[in-house]
Amino acid sequence: MTASTETDVRRAPLPIFGKAFADGRRALLGWGIGIAAAIFLYLPLYPSMIGTSEMQKLIDSLPRALIRTLNYDQISTGAGYTQATVFGLIGFLLMSIASIGWGAAMLGGDEESGQLELTLAHGVTRVQVVVERFAALVLKVLLITALMFVLIALLNGPSQLGIDVGYLAQTCLLFAGLVLLCGSVAMLGGALTGRKVWGIGAGAFVAVVGYVFNALGNQSADLEWLHGLSPYYWAFGNYPMTNGAPPLALLAFYGGSLLVAAVTALVLRQRDIGV
């Protein structure tokens, strides 16, 4: 056992990050395909919708409450349409599910399966595990969002969306931040309890409550204060596709996610694992 100095010391530079990212490659590809399919489904429909007066009639015939809930009030512009359908609805749904799933599995699921115990018995620190896995989450979310940016920008011309690419980029950043916040909270939930299901619950709480508070706040002035509690509203309430991203919202999402990650590291440091 006298460890000779001639031993092969080849080590991956960021082993935890590398494995966290590599293990999720297939899933990442799957989510990417899902998002791309949604984009290709919604956006090419836009020219056929604005051209016809029937569509506007249909929208007008819907109850105001429903339109506000679905955020379809700006749907007659390409930017509003893209925000309402891709970012605000199907994209948000898909990506928050993906991000929450990644976040919850990262520590809670890993502990539940007994593998975290083995990882922590090796030459790593708990803080390092949290930081590297959080970094993998950030990268995954950003990669999917980058894909969304590219696809929407590609369809901008053919689908006559008339989107300002700068605002699109800002909206993508906001969107990624919102989704990342949900995933980070899921990671924290998993780290606190050692159970994946609590992580999913915590992450879904942020996503669902954010969505519901936004929808309720849209209904009447009396409920508008709910917007302040809705991360969803922070992202989309000011129509970033036409007005750009509010810096405060970006700060809330990215700063908040980092803060949640830091709390996660502190929590995991204190806990007994696998009990």
Partner 1 sequence: MSHVETASWPHPGASSPPTDAAIQAVEITKRFGSTQALHGVTFTVPRGSVFGVIGPNGAGKTTTMRALLDIIRPSSGHATVLGTDSRNAGPELRRRIGFLPGELILEGRITGRKLLQHYADISGPVRTGHIEELAERFHLDLAQPVRKLSRGNKQKLGIVQAFMHEPELLVLDEPTSGLDPLMQQEFLLLVKEARDAGQTVFLSSHVISEIQQAADEVAILRDGRIITVASVEALRQTAVRHLRMTATGIRPADLSERLGRLDGMAGLVCMAVTSPAGAAATEATATLEGAIQPFIQAVSTLDLTDLVLEEPDLEESVLALYTAPEDSAESHRASRATRTARGSRAERKEPK
Where on the chain is the footprint of partner 1 (CB under 8 A)?
1-4, 7-9, 11-12, 15-16, 18-19, 23, 26, 113-115, 117-125, 128, 272-275
Between 63 and 123, name the residue whose CB sits nearer to partner 1: 123
The Cα 180–Cα 187 span in angstroms is: 10
Between 221 and 275, name the residue whose CB sits nearer to partner 1: 275
**Residues sharing a CB contact under 8 Å with residue 108, sequence separation 6 or more, in sequence order:** 187, 189, 190, 191, 193, 194, 195, 196, 197, 198, 199
**Residues sharing a CB contact under 8 Å with residue 105, sequence separation 6 or more, in sequence order:** 190, 196, 199
Between 57 and 122, name the residue whose CB sits nearer to partner 1: 122
The Cα 61–Cα 211 span in angstroms is: 24
Between 123 and 247, name the residue whose CB sits nearer to partner 1: 123
Question: Least separation, in Å, of the C-beta of 271 and partner 1?
Answer: 9
Tokens, residue 256: 């908040």
Question: Least separation, in Å, of the C-beta of 114 and partner 1?
Answer: 4
Question: Least separation, in Å, of the C-beta of 147 and partner 1?
Answer: 23
Question: Least separation, in Å, of the C-beta of 22 and partner 1?
Answer: 8
Question: Least separation, in Å, of the C-beta of 115 and partner 1?
Answer: 6
What are phi and psi for residue 266, nearest 5 degrees? Answer: -65, -45
Q: Do 249 and 234 touch, CB atoms closer than 8 A? A: yes
Between 123 and 166, name the residue whose CB sits nearer to partner 1: 123
